[in-house]
Structure 1
Amino acid sequence: MKKLKVLIVTYYWPPSAGGGVQRWLKLSSHLPEFGVEPIIFTPENPAFSLKDDTLTKEVTDKLEVWKFPIWEPLKYFGKEGQPRQGQVLEKKKKGLLDTFLIWARATFFIPDPRVFWVRPSVRFLAPMIKSNDIDLVITTGPPHSMHLIGMSLQKKTGVKWVADFRDPWSEWDILDKLGVKGWARKRHTYLEQKVIKNCDLLITVSDTWAADFTRLGAAKTFVLTNGHDEHAMESEKSTVPGGKFRLAHIGMLNEMRNPLVLWEVLSELCVENREFATSLEIYLAGILSDQVITSIEAFPELKGKLVVDGYLSHGSARRAMKTSTVQLLVMNDSGNAKGHIPGKFFEYLEAKRPILAIGDSSGDVAKIIGDTRAGACLGFNDKVGVRRALEKQFTDFKTDRPFAPKYIDKYARRSLAMKLSNRLFEIFVDNKR
């Protein structure tokens, strides 16, 4: 069987941390089993703000990784390199530097500050594609500058090109938050149109976003969700410390994801149910907005029940999921919420602990939760629904009711790698015969 040699262009790669690195780190480890030989192209000196050195151990010795220097203008601001975009945006009182950074990001760095890596990367890669017999290039964004590399390589070398969108582009809620308007907004739309209409295949992470890209003009779309490592948590203990009813959120929780209705319901249940009040623990780990903590502590009944942890390594995050009673998943309250499926959601499934999701109750997350019987997904303002779900989950906790989600194997990363390889061979190999 012919092997398909694939160059994967990604900004995020170990020791980068966060959801962006997981997708292609994991897929690249499984793809060779199905006839796809991946090569990674990534920056040599990226300015990402979060690191997890443990992830470097997951890069296999057999995987070829090409690195090339990048110049990023925003890395020169801030004490620890590039400021975290979400934290800068949500500050109520922004200093002159914050205001300048937001203005510069929205006005000049289109589609993003990594755009200066495009031309040097294309010059480096064009001869490498020919000399290494690369069959296919896959670019993954955000940052969406990676897609401009793929588009230029397709034009220069004729190589087939797949654009993987982990988030939207012109309709991405972060552009509204940045205040991108006028000429800059039109430029985003123009570049997006060129990418989605010229790529040979567009991959994205949810059915809703696939439909959105089709509406915008993409000819061929393919849904490849994020996933989980099968059996990775089986050895982890699942006992909650102190016998607490631990409601745990792992990851970023900022102003756009602050579930105010949840804090209100928890406060009311503490007042009405003494046993609930005694048992409750709210565990938040990761990048947290000060506004989230303030909104929780505004309820006197919740003071003393909040446990805040910092950023966790991937392994520690898994252990925290496994030792929760209920896993909290909060999506952005924005126009993109329906198609947004956070990467950690699939690890929540693997942890096999009940999920309480707050987002679009008719969105892709709600559908998967319903199909897998993994918990409940309620609307942002559905106070009655959130209360009903918590009361049921607390009753299950007290009675030690067994919990076993169904049909989660299809979201295992090995299964997703097989699904992807089948599609790539179907389009780029079988159609040539």
Structure 2
Amino acid sequence: MKNPVLIITYYWPPAGGPGVQRWLKFATYLDQYNFEVTVVIPDHPDYPIVDASLIEEVPKGIQFIKVPINEPSRWASSLSRKRTKNLQKGIIPKNAGPLQRAMIWMRGNLFVPDARVGWKSRVIKAIHPYLLEHKNPTIITTGPPHSIHLIGLELKNKYTGFKWLADFRDPWTTIGYHKHLKIGARAQKKHEQLEQDVLNNADLLIVTSPHTGKEFASKSNTPIQVITNGFDINVNTTTRQPVGAFTMSHVGTLLSDRNPQVLWEVLAELCSESTDFKAAFKLQLAGNVSSEILDSIHRYDLDSNLNLLGYLSHKDAVDLMFHSQCLLLIEIDSIDTKAIIPGKLFEYFASARPIIAIGPKDADIENLIKHTHSGQYFNYLEKQKLKEHVLEKYALFKNGNNEGQLNDHINSYKRENLTKTLAKTIAYTWE
């Protein structure tokens, strides 16, 4: 008889972006470890990003409990759909207008911890029959949105005979955008109390980075397991240089605070110093890009080198990675982002293309890149080193030798191998 696992998540296909793939793939591979998986998802949600191609990756055999949800974003969209979608995507403009400022304040102070908090009571009611039918299930909540963890918290107060694992894909009160939501003292205190209640009452905490693990260990005695994100694509076995221009590609959202001025300076100087470089260089941005990023690119006179691709399906994004000369990974220069490991990093590994990463000093992503020998990491003060490295890559490109590198270090980040760790973690909570 298979062991029941109930996964409660807001993001599920056709939601797009790397966050949805974590539990889509865990749910896929848990079947190999004698688990019967049921997934609780919203019925007709208002996702900020949609990628219908991911529906094809949902495995047969998974059971679903679809729960209706009221999305405040639909109401807000009647005032301004574009501004609402940008806020949902995490794009918070520095020069927000009155309407945007009001929406940001409401998001930070009226919806604690987030705008999906109203879904909780409906989920509790909808899964009651499941809890009566299944003996000793493992319940997994995953956030953000961190209101999903409040479902686990309330279940702990109402039921017995199950184990609750709270999966944090990102931190809670220390996540980068938290400080930009204009949160008042009362709302902040509530955030901190809810976070503490979740950390203390879960049977086990799962985090995606060592830094987040250390943060939560300082706040709670609950056991913690680090399980990073990973990849489930076929590894690019062609390490030779792709054909075409000297392309540097970034896949994913570029927020206002994730604006690498040092990179634009380096690229502008190289274009100014070498007409050959300027003619060969292409900057490819795939995903949602803030107006502040585009303004910076314009100020550095890089418009003619820019290829703005918009949001790509997962398949097209992987194809872009495989055929780029270098892959860009940009993280905000802040102590709060040392714990952030973007999900795309692991597909960057599998693409076997050289990574150029920029972020805060001593970040977790720096250690991962070094461990996998997949590229070079620079902090925001290392402009000259960054410039020399780009020149080195360009010289290799000119000679046809800008090759990628494959090694066995990336195998541990395959989703199937990570699910093995998850299966052991679930078993541990029942010991």
Greater CA drift, 270-279 or 137-146: 270-279
Question: How much does 1:202 deviate?
Answer: 0.2
Structure 2 residue aligned with 1:323: 323
1:181 matched to 2:184? The reply is yes
1:208 matched to 2:211? The reply is yes
Structure 1 residue aligned with 2:33: 34
Structure 1 residue aligned with 2:262: 261
- Per-residue CA deviation, residues 160-213 of structure 1 (Å, 9 max, x unaligned), is 100000111122221101121301000000000000000000001001110011
- Per-residue CA deviation, residues 130-158 of structure 1 (Å, 9 max, x unaligned), is 21335110000000010000111122121
Structure 2 residue aligned with 1:427: 429
Runs of 4+ in 1 over 6 A off after TM superposition: 236-239
Is the 1:339–1:363 contact (alpha carbons within 8 Å) kept by the matching residues of 2?
A: yes
1:287 matched to 2:288? The reply is yes
Is the 2:287–2:309 contact (alpha carbons within 8 Å) kept by the matching residues of 1?
A: yes
Structure 1 residue aligned with 2:344: 344
Question: How much does 1:402 deviate?
Answer: 3.3
Question: How much does 1:87 deviate?
Answer: 6.5
Q: TM-score, with normalisation over the residues of structure 2?
A: 0.94
Question: How much does 1:36 deviate?
Answer: 2.4
Report the secondary structure of 1:283's partner residue.
Answer: strand
Question: How much does 1:118 deviate?
Answer: 0.7
Counterpart code for 2:168: F
Report the secondary structure of 1:296's partner residue.
Answer: helix
Separation in structure 2 between the aligned mates of residue 222 and residue 172 of structure 1, nearest angstrom: 19
Report the secondary structure of 2:289's partner residue.
Answer: coil
Q: TM-score, with normalisation over the residues of structure 1?
A: 0.93
Q: Against the structure 1 CA distance between its residues 324 and 19, is the aligned structure 2 distance closer, same or farther, given a 3 Å change threshold? A: same
Q: Against the structure 1 CA distance between its residues 229 and 153, is the aligned structure 2 distance closer, same or farther, given a 3 Å change threshold? A: same
Q: Against the structure 1 CA distance between its residues 237 and 315, is the aligned structure 2 distance closer, same or farther, given a 3 Å change threshold? A: farther
Alignment of 1:2-401 (within 5 A): 3-78=2-77, 80=81, 82-85=84-87, 90-133=92-135, 135-158=137-160, 159-231=162-234, 233=236, 240=242, 243-300=244-301, 302-399=302-399, 400-401=401-402
Q: Against the structure 1 CA distance between its residues 86 and 57, is the aligned structure 2 distance closer, same or farther, given a 3 Å change threshold? A: closer
Counterpart code for 1:374: S
Q: Which stretches in structure 2 are left out of the alignment for 5+ residues?
A: none
Question: How much does 1:230 deviate?
Answer: 4.6
Q: Against the structure 1 CA distance between its residues 402 and 73, is the aligned structure 2 distance closer, same or farther, given a 3 Å change threshold? A: closer
Question: How much does 1:89 deviate?
Answer: 5.6
Separation in structure 1 between the aligned mates of residue 261 and residue 174 of structure 2, nearest angstrom: 25
Identity %: 36
- Per-residue CA deviation, residues 197-253 of structure 1 (Å, 9 max, x unaligned), is 00000001001110011111142100010000152655x998645x21100001111
Question: How much does 1:293 deviate?
Answer: 1.3
Question: How much does 1:427 deviate?
Answer: 2.6
Separation in structure 1 between the aligned mates of residue 5 and residue 313 of structure 2, nearest angstrom: 29
Is the 2:393–2:402 contact (alpha carbons within 8 Å) kept by the matching residues of 1?
A: no
- Per-residue CA deviation, residues 264-284 of structure 1 (Å, 9 max, x unaligned), is 001111222333222111011
Separation in structure 1 between the aligned mates of residue 325 and residue 91 of structure 2, nearest angstrom: 32
Is the 1:14–1:53 contact (alpha carbons within 8 Å) kept by the matching residues of 2?
A: yes
Counterpart code for 1:122: I
- Per-residue CA deviation, residues 36-90 of structure 1 (Å, 9 max, x unaligned), is 2221001002111211111111111211111010112232122559533267863
Question: How much does 1:308 deviate?
Answer: 0.6
Separation in structure 1 between the aligned mates of residue 395 and residue 375 of structure 2, nearest angstrom: 14
Separation in structure 1 between the aligned mates of residue 324 and residue 426 of structure 2, nearest angstrom: 38
Separation in structure 2 between the aligned mates of residue 41 and residue 27 of structure 1, nearest angstrom: 14
Counterpart code for 1:290: S
Is the 2:65–2:126 contact (alpha carbons within 8 Å) kept by the matching residues of 1?
A: no
Report the secondary structure of 1:8's partner residue.
Answer: strand
Counterpart code for 1:107: N
Counterpart code for 2:4: K
Question: How much does 1:387 deviate?
Answer: 1.1
Separation in structure 1 between the aligned mates of residue 291 and residue 28 of structure 2, nearest angstrom: 38
C-alpha RMSD over aligned residues:
1.9
Q: Against the structure 1 CA distance between its residues 187 and 220, is the aligned structure 2 distance closer, same or farther, given a 3 Å change threshold? A: same
Separation in structure 1 between the aligned mates of residue 159 and residue 248 of structure 2, nearest angstrom: 52
Q: Which stretches in structure 1 are left out of the alignment for 5+ residues?
A: none
Counterpart code for 2:9: T
- Per-residue CA deviation, residues 361-394 of structure 1 (Å, 9 max, x unaligned), is 3111000100111001111232122112212222
Q: Against the structure 1 CA distance between its residues 218 and 323, is the aligned structure 2 distance closer, same or farther, given a 3 Å change threshold? A: farther
- Per-residue CA deviation, residues 299-338 of structure 1 (Å, 9 max, x unaligned), is 23x2311111111000010001111100000012233221
